[in-house]
Structure 1
Amino acid sequence: MNTKIWSKFATSFRSSSPSLTRNQRWLIGVGSSAAVTFGIGYYFTKYRDSYRGTYLSQYSYSSSYTDKYRYPITVENQLKEALWDESNRNNYQYKESLTKYIEVLNQLQELNVNPLSDEYTRIELKVAEMFEKLNLHENAKNIYLEMLYRFFESLNTPGMVPDELRPELIRKDLRVLIKSLEINKDLEIGKRNLLAHLLLAQEEILIRSPELKKFFDSKREKAEKLVRGKPINASDFQTFVKDENFKFNEDGYMIMDLQKNTSAWEPFKEEFFTARDLYTAYCLSAKDVPSALSCKMTTVQWMVMADMPPGQILLAQANLGALLYLQAERFESDLYQIDSKCKMDPGFMEDDKVVKALRYLRKNRDTCLQMANQCYDSIMKFSNEHHKLRYHMKDQLDVAIPQAIALSTYGKGILSLHDGILNKAERFLLDAISLAKETDFEELLKEAEGELKKTRDLKEHKLSLKFEKDNMETNG
């Protein structure tokens, strides 16, 4: 998974969601770490290889899904012409190229080439790419949606796709899904598509690994408490960044130290976790913090089980801490509303349901803050114990590692500011600014500088109040 934080998706997503709070926009931009770089890039690269004679010419003709297909010579020539038209050598003649790709698709349909095959879908993706280059985004979107519908129906139809080929088709499905979200403007449709295709991939994983199914059935109930508003217990929560999970190789780079069978996730685990991060961002856009949090908690657990790169796990845990803080703010907002009603009507406090609600909200708020602290603390403790992570960040191959450390430091500053411990908040935020500059983490730098200014303004205000109070006592 690409761990570039400020993706094109996040930028356009924020601009289309002006009603979000600052913290929600921050999480979508920085927290989701969802990269929309899979999509059709893989297929385009593969197809460009074919133009050099390394791919298409090796196929023997068959219309079945399981066998490879060799394009007839007339089709191959037309594809070469289409590639030439769209290239810089022919001044990017996208309209001419689009016409030729559509003609090729029509020929493939006449030849009964299986519409699930790479040979067919690769051309569809080229048609969609030309539409995008011509700014005909609605046409491109329709191509993607039609492909997704076809993949989904095929995967859900017993016997349509051989068992051994299902994982590869799921990977293709997720890539097209992620690509389609780049140009999607309807957040509700995007969220619905994400959920449907994620559940399909998730079901495939659990079918292939009964052990995973048993494990996650037990974990899901705890995560869902956050959605149902049930009391949660911080003692049930465990972070994943610890020495027993990570180690360093001979070159000093961090690697996972989990001897797990990850075959159930292959070959689509990168796409699967990218899609899950996107789903978290969509939940946040709808201000559905509990669902975003539940999704992220499960995602981090799945990432560990899938043996994902350590930097991505660190960053996911840091993002989980940010979501826990958002959930705590949500509980705090509910508390404030009830407290306001009680001040207006003291009799309101005599209602047992109100008393019980206040108890639950306070407990869950405090627990979420405690869990957020745990997320940040374990990352910072790990980085402090392994100085290479902290002091040689630019040497890290995985940029997500220093970003996770910087984000955790920022998170500790925000928690300290929330608790009114201004000197501590200032120290953490200054450190976060230093880390952000060191790693060119521009988005975090901007946020941390804004919070630092707020912290210093509050300190100045407190000093001013203290000075006025001292003067009054002296003059009184």
Structure 2
Amino acid sequence: MVLWRHSRRLASFKRLYSYHYRKENVWQSRLFMATIASLVAGSVSWYYFWPHHTFSAPVAKTLRKGLRAESDKGDFDYNSALESYRIGLRQAKEENIPEWSNEYTGIQLKIAQMMEYLHDYGSALLMYKQINSAYLAFLKSDQAEDNTYPELSKPYILLKNLRVSVKIARVLELSNQTENALKVLKHAMLLCSNYAIAKSAKEQGQDLKGVKLVIENNRVLVNGNKEIKVERNRENWSPFTFEFFNASDYYVSLCTASGKLDEAIKERQRILLLMVLAQVPGGDILLSQYNLGSLLYMKAEQLESLELKYRNDLPRQQEELQRTMTTKNDYLSAATECFETVRELATSLDEKQKKGSTNAIRTSGINENNSIKSKVLWYQVDQTTDDSIALSTYALGVIKLHRGMYKEAEDLLKETLRRASRTNYTELIQETKRELGKLDRERKHGPKLLSVSK
């Protein structure tokens, strides 16, 4: 599997799309990818290492030695820098600097960074886990409920825990421990989402302390059965909004890369609801909707491979064949609906944006009975969404092409060219031109890929 990457700027989020490539399937080598790739992997710079923190003179002197050693002035001597930071950490501990403080964890982060530079990933992982443990211990303490110092309040510690969890997941991924990486990410993300939802519920007079929250089929459930209403409020997701949704993209990309398409789809559905609750820009919701459609389409392709296997074993596998065909068509229909609901905004979007009116988008998916599940989610459009609409138009065009509906496919692909040209979306323009060339060649031969069985 090869991940083809290119970046686009949408609102305040810098997204990195990941496209899935397989030699036997041209679809997955193009823009129909499974998930947004791990932007977090490269963009979470270990962030503001003690940017404005104050240390005692001895600690500060030691840390400056480390900073000099790892810079060009010290010839990038990471071993010397590592030793200085270790000494600085011991000094900080002797001065009783709290282990969850920015100062203490900042030194630990530098130590882990040096270890990564020296390819000592095992030691780096242990250091990150120490930081993570300190944060989790703090979150369980009474100090987490004390808002005297905002930078030490619960949401800020949740933010830092999430950042460290992403680092842990990255090291685990490098060590081929994807399952553990997913568990670490999931736990950190649940802490953030449960905090935001519980805060919203508390504002509405509901106390969710000690209850288990489950997000399923665009609903928030308490203890797995009682649905609760959660109001949209971006403040409840601050300050971890950006990191939370980037971590979710990373989670989905790991699921997809490891063949866990069902979990990737469920996570993308959950994240769509949370994006609405967090009031993220409308364009990012549309982009997530597009990516959900791509995941659903990939699942349909997966089922088609199984369908071909059963066809080669008829009549013994007749029952399995029929069940697989039905499920495949459900996923394909849900994917198509995802793309169509993004594209539906095209005709009136500009006018509605001028008026500041509210738009609706349906999120589609598959429930436990393999039937299409759709629900209307509302959000305020506050930015241009041309890229998401262009991608979805392209997706519908490719589906029509592979169904042999050449006139419809041609119209959609030409519309994609117009939309992509407006935003100078070079990669999409190139892909669309390739599809148009394929369309001309295949008019006489019919579709070669996925189609809805009659």
Q: Give the alignment's TM-score, normalised by structure 2.
A: 0.71
The CA distance in 2 between the partners of 1:103 and 1:275, in whole Å, is 32
The structure richer in helix per residue is 1
Task: Describe the superposition over 1:164-217 as per-residue Cα deviations: whole angstroms up to 9, x where unpaired.
Answer: 421111100111222344443222221121112222222222322226999x97
Q: Relative to 1, partners in 2 of residues 1:400 and 1:287: Cα closer, same or farther, differing over 3 Å? A: farther
The CA distance in 2 between the partners of 1:456 and 1:421, in whole Å, is 12
Corresponding position: 1:124 with 2:108: yes
Determine the structure 1 residue equivalent to 2:84.
Answer: 100
Distance 2:321 2:219 in 1: 25
Higher relative contact order (CA 8 A, sep 6+): 1
Aligned to 2:409: 425
Structure of greater Rg = 1
Look up the match of 2:195.
204
Confirm whether residue 375 of structure 1 aligns to residue 347 of structure 2: no
Contact 2:340 2:392 in 1 (8 A): no
Q: What's the CA shift string for 1:416-475, capped at 9, x where partnerless?
A: 123221233234334435655664545545544444443333125459xxxxxxxxxxxx
| Contact in 2 for aligned 1:82/1:100 (Cα 8 Å) | yes
Letter paired with 1:401: T
Match of 1:179 among 140, 149, 167: 167
Give the 3 Å change call, closer, same or farther, for CA 145–425 of structure 1 in structure 2: farther
Please state which structure has a larger fraction of its residues in strand.
Answer: 2
8 Å Cα contact 1:20/1:285 also seen in 2:
no
Note the alpha carbon deviations across 1:306-328, whole angstroms, 9 max, x for none: 11122212211221222232233
Identity among equivalent pairs (%): 26
Offset of 1:75 from its aligned partner?
0.9
Distance 2:446 2:243 in 1: 49
2:247 equivalent to 1:279: no
The one-letter amino acid paired with 1:424 is E
Q: Deviations over 1:31-89 (max 9, x none)?
A: 41542255343323xx3x43xxxx42xxxxxxxxxxxxxx2211112222322333334
1:168 aligned to 2:156? yes
Report if aligned partners of 1:2, 1:34 keep a CA contact under 8 Å in 2: no
| Contact 1:320–1:375 (8 Å) recurs in 2 | no
User: Is the contact between residue 426 and residue 456 of structure 1 (CA under 8 Å) also seen in structure 2?
Assistant: no
Is the alpha carbon distance of 1:423 and 1:19 closer, same or farther for their aligned partners in structure 2, counting shifts above 3 Å? closer
Q: Which runs of 5+ in 2 are unaligned?
A: 1-11, 148-152, 221-230, 355-381, 448-454
Q: Which residue of 1 aligns with 2:450?
A: none
Answering whether residue 439 of structure 2 is matched by residue 455 of structure 1, we say yes
Shift of 1:123: 0.9
Corresponding residue of 1:32: 36
The separation in 1 between residues aligned to 2:219 and 2:300, in whole angstroms, is 15
- Mind listing any 5+ residue stretches in structure 1 that lack a counterpart? 57-70, 225-258, 389-397, 464-476
1:340-359 CA distance string (max 9 Å, x none): 54x434xx65x6x876x368
Confirm or deny: 8 A CA contact 2:37 2:253 kept in the other structure. Answer: no
Alignment partner for residue 324 of structure 1, among 287, 291, 296? 296
TM-score under structure 1 length normalisation: 0.68
Counterparts of 1:213 and 1:296, CA distance in 2: 27
Asked if the contact 1:131–1:140 (Cα under 8 Å) also holds between the matched residues in 2, the reply is: yes
Q: Larger deviation: 275-284 or 320-329?
A: 320-329
CA–CA distance in 1 between the matches of 2:251 and 2:333? 25
- SS of aligned partner of 1:3: strand
Q: Does 1:189 align with 2:161?
A: no
